[in-house]
Structure 1
């Protein structure tokens, strides 16, 4: 009976083939070897060799997704009647309009359907922007401080408003008080 053993390292692969006799519980090495290969990092910078390839692949992926979002939006606007068919003279006229000016004008006058479509057509570009709704640690800390000041200034007048327990320990103590009463 042969037993195969493999050792997979970061820069090498080792193997051994053992001829094992279970009746006598002994084995003999039939063959062994190792293959060593260079590291996957550059000599001078010690960074992965495929770093530039990966960066370019990520850029291609982002461009492809941006184009897909724009195409899907154009199809949805076409179905809704807010954009003309792609490549038509109406399409060229609609795309010649400045979308920011159309958005500004939309506050003061009623826009034509193709103008609304042109104003909305740039939205897929904004999908790459950071989320505006995320709050920084500083903003969250300021919110907590503001809440603490409000509770301190209430002095018992606002108990119903601020009595909701905020942590697990306060929930336990609130439950204990409820049981005791």
Structure 2
């Protein structure tokens, strides 16, 4: 440990005050001029460095960032336009596909309707032909049956007259009686 030094005035100086004369150097009035000179020189050098080196670099960095951001915004706008075009093309193709599917479905319905109409007409024609044929058969059977009815009626009448009277009537008389009764 250092021993305190004694000055000529009798005061004890601590830590080297006696060697420098006592006050803090920035507060000594004798050093103001040199401090102001070094302050001006340091300020000038720092200003020169800031003006010629730091500010242009910062300006270049800011300009680069601004151009990059602008380019990114332009690219985003172009991508957005492409996306909108793609959506429009998709919607257009979707609408065309729907129209095609509706047209195909309509064609299928028309084809099925035409086929069923043709089949129905063919069935109706076949049924009409069968109906005409059946009506012809019915008329033929009716005439045949009516022809047989007169014969059966004549036989029945002759049998009834024979059983009732005991004598057989003539065939001409029986035919005339049946004919007059059928006609009305």
TM-score > 0.5 by shorter chain: no
Which has a greater percent of strand? 1
State the TM-score bracket (shorter-chain normalisation): under 0.3
Which has a greater percent of helix? 2
TM-score when scaled to structure 1? Answer: 0.28
TM-score when scaled to structure 2? Answer: 0.27
